[in-house]
A and B are shown apart, each in its own frame.
Chain A
Amino acid sequence: MVNTMKNNLQNDTVRVKQVCYPHLSYVPLILNILLCLVTVSTSGNAHQHSVKMATKMSVVTCQIADIRCAKTVTSAYAPNGDLWRLWVLNNTMWYQISDDHGASYTQPKAVPIAAENISARNENRPKIAFDNNRGVYLSWAMRREKKYTADIRFSYSEDYGKTFTNAITINNDNLLAGHSFNELHVTEQGDVSIVWLDGRLSHQLRKQGKKAKGSALYLGQANPRKGIQDFTNVALANNTCVCCRIAIDENKQGKLAVFWRHIYGDNIREFALLTLNETQQSSNNLPVMQQISFDHWQIDGCPHQGGGISIDEQNQYHLVWFNQGTQGKGIFYAHSKDQGKSLSKPVAIGTQIIQAIHPNIVVSDNKVTLVWMAFNGETHELWMQQSQDGGKSFNEATILAEAEQGGDRPFLIKQGKKGKQHLVSWLRFNEDHWTQLL
């Protein structure tokens, strides 16, 4: 099963995108190429010259494996303290490793599996996780031939990324239906959990001529290193929003908590939370879920805004979300001591007038860190706010970084379950991958 395909793309410098004068969109391609050639021919070093010009024009000439040209990046710490980053270019996943929290990285390496149509834009992106025995696990959504259809895919490495298994499909319905927005969690012992939004039920309903409301939340579990290769496919909830990413974390009892945007009533899009617990099932044999937000955002559409969850040492759930409801507009933070049955009063975060969106959260001990993006009409900003008392009070919000051409959603990670330091990861389009310890 292990694919030992040599990583021969590593040092490939073939250009995937020649963008010398992109603003001249009406210039025929051939003339644009001529212009590029003229530019390059007058330079001693084509690559250096291109990059220099790119800085002036805010355009990057993309080489294969240039992270600046990616649309998303996923960062995660391995148990040994290495920081991994994963991104997609030209239907290939690439990774790099840093042993100094992102100050420097190893050379990019292609994940040695066959190229496929990987979803890596906006709310969708590949995920990466680790076990405690040099295992590296990847999960992503692969777009299929029909609009809004995809499969959840999985591959792993037993040798810290040197080789990867052939990719397999996790959803077991064999339907050309929507399966997307995957989240990945791996325990130290290699127990793999993948949660995703699944369209099999709505697909079947529509085939019967019935109306469907949203997608379903599905869970797949396996432990391939212990010989459990086949992933389970278990429904966790029905009627979820179809286009917002999910957030997951493991609680102090080792149970997975899932936080997602649900559809209540007549298209009321509110956030919901569940914790996997075999002993507590609702009447429809699905896990008990708690409604978290009550902002009353009624929209028959796509918010494209998932939430964030992080669980602290006292098993307190810290949550952040975005809504535009009649009862609540903007970013909100709240925490719960009882897995969402009751909630602290939601606190508004960020400034609405500068478009505060896409929040994320991480917590360790009493330190709660929140980040989000904003746009002031000219510049994209990365904002941060922290609490040192478990979310009871927050210090003043500050701007961490700016981006000229926007960026991917920002994410916060920590080193292991007990990591004290929080790292923010923000891909600035055509600029760089910006990280900082907080």
Chain B
Amino acid sequence: MTIKIAAITNSLKKLLLLVVVVILLFIIGLPKITNAKSLANPAMLVKSDKLITEKPLNKIHLTALKQHYKGQRWLMVFWSVDCPPCFQELAMIQTLSEQGANLPIVIVNADDSDDISHERRNVIERFKLSHLTHLYFVEGQGAKSRYIVDPGWYGELPRSYFIDAAGKFNGKSGLISKEALNSWLIKSK
């Protein structure tokens, strides 16, 4: 009798474990599917000037951004928490952003470290840039992420890409001037 009860309890435990796993897999799969749908159609991403919020920079997201901005000028700015001039550039974007909405700017954190994810979010909030599209390099994927954007970029920061209507990436290392920023973004509108 005791053995039978033990066997039933054991089976129930296994069943419960299976149910938990199935539920978890369903929950895990759901956002993935939702995400895939939204990425398949870049137009679906566009609600305001924010296309993607806090996602890894990868080929899929970069392609979606390229498709979305096809035929217009836009700007990609790469920054790091270890780079004082990057903060000057973020401050300039903040000022510009407060003057007008829907700026075609994509901000990418290039630290590729889980350790700074909290700091990264704080910086975005401090400069009031949460409404813009921002991505980040996944831990251990820094070089790969850089390579996806530009194999000729060696990690120096800040790094800005002025992308023209034909989709050509023109990279510039170091702090960009207010004038260059204004001129590029205003003309693009």
**Which residues of A pack against B, CB within 8 Å?**
24, 26-27, 31, 34-35, 38, 71, 121-122, 147-148, 242-243, 267, 298-305, 322, 324, 353, 355, 357, 375, 377-378, 380, 405-406, 429-430
Contact = CB atoms under 8 A, between A and B. Distances in A.
Given A27-B27, A355-B147, A267 B174 contact: yes
Interface stretch (B36-44, B90-98, B152-160, B162-170): B152-160
Residue from A35, A242, A299, A324 whose CB has the most chain B CB atoms within 10 Å: A299
A405 B112 CA distance: 11
Residue from A31, A322, A405 whose CB has the most chain B CB atoms within 10 Å: A405
Contacts of B140: 405-406, 429-430
Nearest to B30: A26
B28 A27 contact: yes
A147 B156 CA distance: 20
Q: Is the interface of A mostly helix, strand, loop or mixed?
A: loop
Interface stretch (B4-12, B17-25, B100-108, B179-187): B17-25
B127 to A, nearest CB: 13
A121 B113 contact: yes
Residue from B20, B80, B156, B157 whose CB has the most chain A CB atoms within 10 Å: B156
Contact of B24 (A34, A304, A378): A34
Interface residues of B, number: 34
Contacts of A242: 84
Nearest to A357: B154
Contacts of B151: 353, 355, 377
Nearest to B55: A25
Given A38-B20, A301-B173, 8 more contacts: A38-B21, A147-B81, A243-B83, A301-B158, A302-B156, A377-B144, A377-B151, A405-B140
B147 A375 contact: yes
Contacts of B84: 148, 242-243, 302
Nearest to B80: A302
B143 A34 contact: no
A74 B2 CA distance: 60
Contact of A31 (B17, B27, B115, B147): B27
Contacts of B173: 299, 301, 324
A217 B24 CA distance: 55
Contacts of B83: 243, 301-302, 304
B143 A302 contact: no
Contacts of A24: 28
Contacts of A305: 154-156
A71 B113 contact: yes
Contacts of B72: none
A148 B88 CA distance: 14
Interface string B117-147: 0000000000000000000000011111011
Contacts of B142: 406
Nearest to A352: B152
Contacts of A38: 17, 20-21
Going nearest first, the 6 A-B pairs with the smallest beta carbon separation are: A405-B140, A301-B174, A299-B174, A375-B143, A300-B175, A300-B174
A301 to B, nearest CB: 4
Contacts of A122: 82
